[in-house]
Chain A
Amino acid sequence: MLILGIESSCDETGVALVRDGHEVISNALASQAEVHARFGGVVPEVAARQQLMAFIPVLEVALAQAGVDWNGIDAVAATYGPGLAGPLLVGLTAAKSIAFARGLTFLGVNHLEAHLYANWLHRQGEPHHAPHFPVLSLLVSGAHSELIVIREHGRYALLGQTRDDAAGEAFDKVARMLGLSYPGGPSIQRSAATWPIDQPLPVKVPRAWLRGTNDFSFSGVKTYIANLLRNPDHPPIAAIAAAFQEAIVDVLATKTVAAAKAIGAAEVVLAGGVAANVALRERLESDLRRLHISLRAPRIEWCTDNAAMIAGAAYYHLRRGESSDLSLDVLPSLALPLAQA
């Protein structure tokens, strides 16, 4: 089954073609160079109106990359929430219009659920290894810090989430405080790596454990570092970056491992831009190995917002015979069901 997926929940416009929920035939984003070239310039990052302009060129790129025409497509899927109402409306309306005009099956997809399905994706010609249930997903990005369990296709639940700032947001904001570049994840990682490994850190950043819950809190870390920097005799930037990264990784890894144990996870999967953090991957890999739980992370282009994950997730609904009515509206505050205690 070849599915056309559309993602427009925030500031990315994406269109992708994915076969049977795993094989990515094409995956186009408005930020891609070839799309910029069609515009004769850079696509402005944040704007629903701009998304409206970006949609058709991105769709054309996705179809051209795949080398298929409309007759080869079996269904159309689009994000209907959570996200920003304006941008969501662009993608969802486009999907419904295509489905109506072509007489195709249409499905609205939950953006959070779709992030999970990035771990089912592979490129054409590469082998397909589906994760084993139950899967625990740590979704960490500028917008998310969530622990989600997926027990079988279509049965997933939110175990925990951030109560204030997302992990990626903490990286970005602390990087700004430290005078490091944007995005904060890579720049803090680089700065932290310059601190000599054999030298003890002259600063320890406190962790918010929120014991008894699977929730996270990263706002206090930011405040702690802001206070630290008010003292002119503060430790070197590299030491603060290393201590900060250590604190974030410690909390993310400890809570993920505890949750994996609690639900009896067969596999832990990462999603979101923070999945690229080397310290996080190494720490999780070594902690999970002891429990004989494997760790996997999607390619980075499937970690951040993209349409391939939308088309991927849609497949597992469509094959059960599910579809959405063309009257489906955007749901900006759409959530995942909470896990039953």
Chain B
Amino acid sequence: MTEANWEQRSASVARTRAIGQRLGAAARPGDILLLIGELGAGKTALTQGLARGLDIGEVVNSPTFTLLKEHRSGRVPLYHFDLYRIERASELIDLGFGEYFGGDGVAVVEWADRVANEIFGSDWLQATITTPNNHGRIIHWRAQGQRAEEWLTATREPL
């Protein structure tokens, strides 16, 4: 099993969106992106950029209350999850959410650290967004599995 780590800075919401857009442009059906970060870190902004990279035209807003929003207007369906309100992994399983992972669409999971990573299978990309000070963000990337590593590599800007 392969695993890769990488770190990058984002100075603004616009920059976080642009990083997301590169991810979206390189995304394939079955890809899973796990997002971790406190309130206001930029998880939804990253997802909005990713949606743009998938050519999704409509507004992509927070699915906190609905737990999941599906977007099907792009080249690949986007399943946008938010586990903020989830207390236990069993709730996720009860909702039949397993069907959305590794299938015909790209799954993005905000607050993924509220459940154990095993639920997402063995191949996923994880972004942990931290706020070292009031301005700017650091995104810590962790690719678990071969496809996630390819996805991350395709996303990295040329040196």
B is bound to A: yes
Interfacial residues, chain A to chain B (CB-CB below 8 A): 10, 46-50, 82-87, 141-143, 161-166, 168-169, 172-173, 176-177, 215, 219, 222-223, 226-227, 230, 332-333, 335
Q: Count contacts on B: residues with CB < 8 A to the other chain.
A: 27
Q: Which residues of A contact B91 (CB under 8 A)?
A: 46-47
Verify A10–B65 contact, CB threshold 8 A: yes
CA A168 to CA B48, docked complex, whole Å: 20
Verify B95–A165 contact, CB threshold 8 A: no
Contact partner of B94 among A50, A83, A161, CB < 8 A? A50
Q: Which residues of B contact A177 (CB under 8 A)?
A: 39
Q: Which of B112-148 contact A (CB under 8 A)?
A: 131, 134
Q: Which residues of A contact B2 (CB under 8 A)?
A: none
CB closest residue in chain B, given A161? B59
Q: List 9 A-B contacts (CB under 8 A).
A: A47-B91, A47-B94, A143-B65, A161-B61, A164-B48, A169-B65, A219-B45, A226-B131, A230-B134
Verify A164–B61 contact, CB threshold 8 A: yes
CA A168 to CA B65, docked complex, whole Å: 9
Question: Nearest 7 pairs between A and B by C-beta?
Answer: A223-B40, A143-B65, A47-B94, A142-B65, A226-B40, A333-B70, A86-B96
The proximity string for B residues 67-106 relative to A, scoring 1 for CB distances below 8 Å and 0 otherwise, is 1111110000000000001100001001110000000000
Additional 10 contacts, C-beta under 8 A, given A46-B94, A169-B62, A173-B64? A46-B91, A46-B95, A48-B95, A83-B66, A84-B66, A163-B48, A219-B44, A219-B45, A222-B40, A226-B38
Q: Which residues of A contact B61 (CB under 8 A)?
A: 161-166
CB closest residue in chain A, given B92? A46
CB closest residue in chain B, given A332? B70
CA A333 to CA B69, docked complex, whole Å: 7
Indicate if B7 sits at the interface (CB-CB under 8 A). Answer: no
CA A47 to CA B38, docked complex, whole Å: 26
Verify A219–B40 contact, CB threshold 8 A: yes
Q: Which residues of A contact B72 (CB under 8 A)?
A: 333
CA A135 to CA B94, docked complex, whole Å: 39
Min CB–CB distance A171 → chain B (angstroms): 12
Q: Which residues of A contact B66 (CB under 8 A)?
A: 10, 82-84, 143
Contact partner of A49 among B64, B67, B94, CB < 8 A? B94
Verify A166–B62 contact, CB threshold 8 A: yes
Known: A163-B61, A164-B62, A166-B62. A46 touches B39 (CB 8 A): no
Known: A46-B91, A230-B134, A333-B72. A164 touches B96 (CB 8 A): no
Min CB–CB distance B135 → chain A (angstroms): 9
Min CB–CB distance A195 → chain B (angstroms): 23
Indicate if B3 sits at the interface (CB-CB under 8 A). Answer: no
Indicate if B150 sits at the interface (CB-CB under 8 A). Answer: no
Min CB–CB distance B88 → chain A (angstroms): 10
Verify A333–B40 contact, CB threshold 8 A: no
Q: Which residues of A contact B45 (CB under 8 A)?
A: 164, 219
Q: Which of B26-56 contact A (CB under 8 A)?
A: 38-40, 44-45, 48
Min CB–CB distance A133 → chain B (angstroms): 26
